[in-house]
Structure 1
Amino acid sequence: MSKIRTIYRGGSRFYLNTAFPDNVYPGVTSVLGMLPKQNFLGPWNARMTAELAVDSIDFVQQMAARDRDGAVDYLRGAARRYTKVRADVGSNAHDLFERLIRGETVYSVHPDLEPYKKHFLEFLAAVNPELVRAEDVAWSDTHEYAGSFDVVMYVWLDDEGNPTPDRSGTRHLIMGDWKTSKATYPDVALQMAAYANADFMIDPDGNRTPMPEFDGAAVLHITDTQWAFKPVVIDDEVFEEFLRLRGTFNWDRDLSRRVVLKPIASSKSRLVTGTQRRG
């Protein structure tokens, strides 16, 4: 039975099907890395460094007295360390959400995850979704990409698009995503459009199932203070934008490295004058 594995090349994640080892496809999130970088990152990094310096000024002064370069590295790494902590919380929260939506009773969690558990249980009570698939791989041979989606589920909605937790409304098949970031960003639409338009869903045992037709998509934005379940547009226009990024990924990782050839003419060596030789 073939299995899906992930590898990293040049900072990007690729998916490999062991039955077809020549088919190595970039991950959806790596393709989304072709989007222009947000211009707030520079000021945000600077602010994180400044806040750390002010909040721990005595400690930094003591460190600098012993090891100036170490103090500089400590301050410079403020944003990186914060991002790592948030990524760990996000990964642990995703694991918790999968357990809960599968019906597992989770009695105790780390204190940092308690509010996420509380809010996810509130979501389950308010929406009452039916799980179809969770944490499987979306695989596209047609467009050569792959990625791990969070959830495929049924939700029941009334005529105004609001959830009916008693399941009295119309059943909709939804591509879903959990987000624990500070905000919900537009690229989630590109991400879910890619998953929904893949050719197959592949489970951990390597079993392939054709990707179904979806009635829509939604993101559950859940933090330690609140949660919100938001519909997301994943129509053809959005998917076409993702495919443009897929082409940009090919340009960045391959074609751009093959278009400037070796020089066929160049400047001569700089003339050394007789005066220079004698001097």
Structure 2
Amino acid sequence: MTKFVPPIKRVETAKGHHYKDGNGHRIPGVTTILGDGVPKPALINWAANSTAEAAVDRWDELTELQPSARLKELQNARYAKSDKAKKRGTEVHGYGERLVKGEKVTGIPDELRGHVEAYATFLDKFEVDPILVEATIVNYRYGYAGTLDLICELTDEKGARRTLLLDIKTNEKGIFGETALQLAAYRYAEFYLDADGNELPMIPVEGCGAILVNSDGAQLIPCTSDENTFKSFRIAYAMRDIVNGSRDLVGAPVPPQDPNPSTARIVYEESSK
């Protein structure tokens, strides 16, 4: 029995986007599922280091503030760093979408020029021909949706033409393992939406990978996103449900039958010196 019903709709908001089914129920997104269902111990150290770096780098500025304002600035330091990285990734995705479609790209900010040039060179080197770009996908059976970056045909290192599902990443630390789970979820979706919003059967691919883009170049990073990886994604989904629903497993305090018993059970003894 499926959790949701067609048709799916991607809803744009001021803070991003989400997905709704034919009954108006929100369908969890792939990245949201992985964000809630996959432990990220490295983020603890990253958050601590980001806060410490802000304290050291902005020492003189922070000493001019009241203690409460200083505390707030340090508490928000890691979010400012994360927001900057997300903004860069979003902008590179936007330019990448236009480039792969063969559109002319102008007005590139200086700080992103290297990324965009690297991606353009990647498209030329691998002779990329797009099949599906920035498309919404859905799996009604398992209850999730998402937006894939690219399905394309390209020339691999052996000169063979292959159909691959790829995701653009701009992470300075490289490709995280959960990217393979993300791609598996896209790969084993049931349908995708075409330009007119029609649901069509998901396009089969030969493999999956990430395009790691930075200012120095772009690399094709293969990912094992097979049926076993898809099972791991579904486990992460189940863990998300456990985490989000675990509070409902704890009930309210149980009152005693007699709230005012007559017998005290604790006897205090004074120690002798």
Measured against the shorter chain, the TM-score band is 0.7 to 0.9
* 1:99–1:14 distance in 2 versus 1, CA, 3 Å: closer
Using the TM superposition, name which of 38-47 and 261-270 deviates more: 261-270
2:10 maps to which residue? 5
**Cα deviation, residue 223, structure 1:** 1.4
CA deviations 1:181-235 (Å, max 9, x no partner) are 1210010110000001010011353211100221001110111233211111111
* Structure with more relative contact order (C-alpha pairs < 8 Å, separation 6 or more): 2
**CA shift for structure 1 position 147:** 0.4
Task: Give the Cα separation in 2 of the matches to 1:265 and 1:99.
Answer: 64
State the distance in 2 between where 1:54 and 1:252 align.
36
- Counterparts of 1:238 and 1:103, CA distance in 2: 33
The correspondence of residues 78-157 of structure 1 with structure 2, limited to 5 A, is 78-157=77-156
In the other structure, the counterpart of 2:198 is: 207
Which range moved further: 243-252 or 258-267? Answer: 258-267
TM-score normalised by structure 2 residue count? 0.84
Q: What is the rounded CA distance, in whole Å, between the counterparts of 1:58 and 1:258 in structure 2?
A: 47
Secondary structure of the structure 1 residue equivalent to 2:259: coil
**Alignment partners' CA distance in 2, 1:50 and 1:270:** 53
Provide the rounded CA distance (Å) in 2 between the counterparts of 1:267 and 1:249. Answer: 38
Alignment of 1:1-279 (within 5 A): 4-6=9-11, 14-17=18-21, 20-21=22-23, 24-63=26-65, 67-157=66-156, 162=157, 164=159, 169=160, 171-182=161-172, 183-254=174-245, 256-261=246-251, 266=256, 268-269=258-259
Give yes or no for contact 1:189–1:238 (8 Å, CA) kept in 2. yes
**Aligned residue number for residue 271 of structure 2:** none
Count of residues in Structure 1 that have an aligned counterpart in Structure 2: 257
Contact 2:169 2:213 in 1 (8 A): yes
Q: Deviations over 1:69-93 (max 9, x none)?
A: 1111112211110101111111011
Contact 2:37 2:237 survives alignment (8 Å): no
Deviation string, structure 1 residues 24-53 (Cα, Å, up to 9, x no partner) = 321111111244432232232222222222
Unaligned runs of 5+ in 2: 1-5, 265-273
Q: Offset of 1:251 from its aligned partner?
A: 3.0
User: Match for residue 277 of structure 1?
Assistant: none
Pair 1:267–1:98, CA change in 2 (3 A): farther
**What secondary structure, in the 3-state scheme, does the structure 1 residue paired with 2:167 have?**
strand
Find the residue that maps to 1:135 and give its secondary structure. strand
User: For the structure 1 residues 267 and 53, does the alpha-carbon distance in structure 2 shift closer, same or farther, using more than 3 Å as the test?
Assistant: farther
Moved more, 177-186 or 44-53: 44-53
CA distance in 2, matches of 1:32, 1:142: 18
Whether the aligned pair in 1 keeps the contact of 2:118 and 2:213 (CA below 8 Å) is yes
Give the residue type in structure 2 aligned to 1:97. G
Conserved 8 A contact 2:136-2:148: yes
Q: What is the Cα-based RMSD across aligned positions, in Å?
A: 2.8
* 3-state DSSP of counterpart to 2:131: strand
Question: Aligned partner of 1:190: which letter?
Answer: L
Going from structure 1 to structure 2, the CA distance change for 1:246 and 1:35 (only over 3 Å counts) comes to closer
Aligned-pair CA distance for 1:5: 2.7
